[in-house]
Amino acid sequence: MFQNNPLLAQLKKNLHAKTPRVEGIVKSTERGFGFLEVDAQKSYFIPPKNMKNVMHGDKILALLKVEKDREIAEPEKLIESFLNRFVGKIEKKDNKLFILPDYPFLKDFILCRIKKNCIDIFETGDWAVAKLIKHKLNGNHIFYAELVEEIVKANNPLIPWWVTLSRHNLERKAPTIEKDDLILKDRSDRKDLTHCNFITIDNFNTKDIDDALFIKENNDGSFCLTVAIADPTSYIKSGSKLDIIAAKRGFTNYLPGFNVPMLPRNLSEDMCSLNPNERRPVLACRINVLKNGNICNKINFFLAWIKSKSKLSYDNVSDWIEKTGSWKPETKLIENQILLLHRLCLLRIKWRALNSVLFKDSLEYRFQFSDTGIVEDVVVEKRRIAHKIIEESMIIANISAANFLSKNLGFGIYNTHTGFDFINAENVVSFLEKYNLKFTVKEIITLKGFCNLRRVLNILSNNYVNSRIRRYQSFGDFSITPGPHFALGLSEYATWTSPIRKYSDMINHRLLKSIINKDKNITKPSEDIKLRISEQKRRNRIAERDVSDWLYTLLLQKKEYKNKKFNAEITDVSRSGIRAKLLENGANVFIPALFLHPVREELIFSQETGKVFIKGILHYKVSDLIQVILSEIRLQTRSIIARLDN
């Protein structure tokens, strides 16, 4: 008698409408239960029985209910699945295929099938790209996936690279090249500078050499620096097939052990690379640097032919300048070039110390591999004087390009950094007062004031203060109109010195060449291309970090590291522990709360201040040096758990 009863249907509808609902993101835990995060401040408990119908990261609509005096979220509707296209590891069992998604909080294998047009054969341990096609919250009794393509076979030493690149949907191979791509298309008049003593300074194994330098000292003691940059746009027409590929890639993707180039290797490592004793087309800039370190306003950009006289290495040049080792320049002419470049470098470092921002010397960590691609060790590399010579020369060149573009066009691809926004500036001023450093908001939101702040902090040399100030700073960005770069301490900055490796530099090359050729109706770069370049840069950085994390877990699981003590620096404080960097090799480790103090209620982790308190007393803070021992290497999540060496 109740079937099709309109009153009952209306009653159900009213009850359904009155039941409160919330929308949020599912966050799972290792103990089976989860939370529905509605915003940064509010979350609701999801019981283990309900977590079986959702996955970590799913965006869902949930009913709010009360069970045992506790408000819980009961998943009702899937808004957006966390898994769509994903990568995972295959397991074959009873002639059925399963895939384990490669995400830390997804620990269950998903039954899967092979897509019809996929010709790959899958075995246990292989890695694949898959797509989730059935979700429990959509009325299905299981999660179900479809295998789209194989990434790499089991036990292949390149698994960390191929899986990471596939996860971020990044290219794994160099672009292919066609015969027409090797033909010089730019027939513009070029100055013949092949007689000049240009030199290049790079790493020993660098193949894509994109900058060469030639320097003279003027009679008045100033320097005349000519920066010659490889010219791939003389081979690649705007809008061509290869240009579209380069625009999509955005950058050469540098990963530990190898790179995935933006351009075909025939161009980037041969035809365009400024290899020694090879005649190459370049875009060049002649810049005068005065005796006080200022860059002369008269800047000359032009097209030229050069022939590098020698490929030098950072280590050899640094050794020779520092009077160590046995290497010496081949000729007096090359020796003179190094000496003049060294003097210019010191002059500009002195100028920037007074007028802009100096970089703090930092350590770089480089993985070493066996012939078969197995990670064997990590070596520490410091920025030496030869690195600084090239760095200062490129800064001069990029300042000059920014000024030239602004003066002649008013647009280009500029590198910008806005320092602090108003709210963060207030936080900085308040924080610095605790250290008797008196600044005003009005002061530090200006370029001059920001530079002054950085110089004061350099003198203070307090790593903790520096780490807190960095948290308040904005991130670097790209802009199609001129803008300041606070982190460099410069009013404008536009890179053009790496067109083999950066598409943004190729864009600036074309703009600079248009000015040289006095072209009319020069097209301004679009906001869209700027955003795509910025996004690609972000993805490349994440991929580099992910590969590094994977390699560290493979390296540190070796026996010799089991009970070894490491010196480490605390880099961050989270809600559940502290993060630190091993100074010996650069690996990032996590120290859980349990390893800091046995009573969790007596621990306070302050993410805002970067400090850890035990019973109200400060025990640890960001920048502190500690000793740790590795506790657990989690290969599946690529994380390293450490404990304090008490």
Kindly state the tokens that stand for 586: 């650069």
Helical pair 527-556 and 241-249, crossing angle rounded to 10 deg:
60
Strand 577-582, strand 588-592: pairing = antiparallel
Which among 228, 247, 240, 261 is positioned nearest to 183, based on CA atoms? 240
Catalytic residue at 352? no
Please, are residues 573 and 611 in contact by the beta-carbon 8 Å criterion? yes
From 44, 103, 235, 314, the catalytic residue: 314
List Cβ neighbours of 328 (8 Å cut-off, separation of 6 or more).
320, 335
Distance CA 373, CA 636 (A): 20
Please, are residues 349 and 392 in contact by the beta-carbon 8 Å criterion? yes
Catalytic residue at 202? yes
Catalytic residue at 208? yes
Phi, psi of 525 (to 5 degrees): -60, 145
Q: State the Cα angle at 527 between 246 and 231, rounded to 5°.
A: 35
From 202, 231, 319, 505, the catalytic residue: 202
Helical pair 385-408 and 503-516, crossing angle rounded to 10 deg:
50
- CA count, 13 A, side-chain hemisphere, 630: 23
From 102, 181, 208, 505, the catalytic residue: 208
From 102, 126, 211, 546, the catalytic residue: 211
Which of 81-85's residues contact partners 24+ apart within 8 Å by CB, and which partners? Answer: 81/55, 81/132, 81/135, 82/26, 82/55, 82/56, 82/57, 82/58, 83/55, 83/57, 83/132, 83/145, 84/131, 84/132, 85/129, 85/130, 85/131, 85/148, 85/169
Catalytic residue at 561? no
Distance CA 199, CA 249 (A): 29
List Cβ neighbours of 239 (8 Å cut-off, separation of 6 or more).
none
From 58, 210, 243, 546, the catalytic residue: 210
Distance CA 556, CA 577 (A): 21
Catalytic residue at 210? yes
Catalytic residue at 211? yes
- CA count, 13 A, side-chain hemisphere, 426: 2
Query: Which residues are catalytic, by number?
Result: 202, 208, 210-211, 314, 501
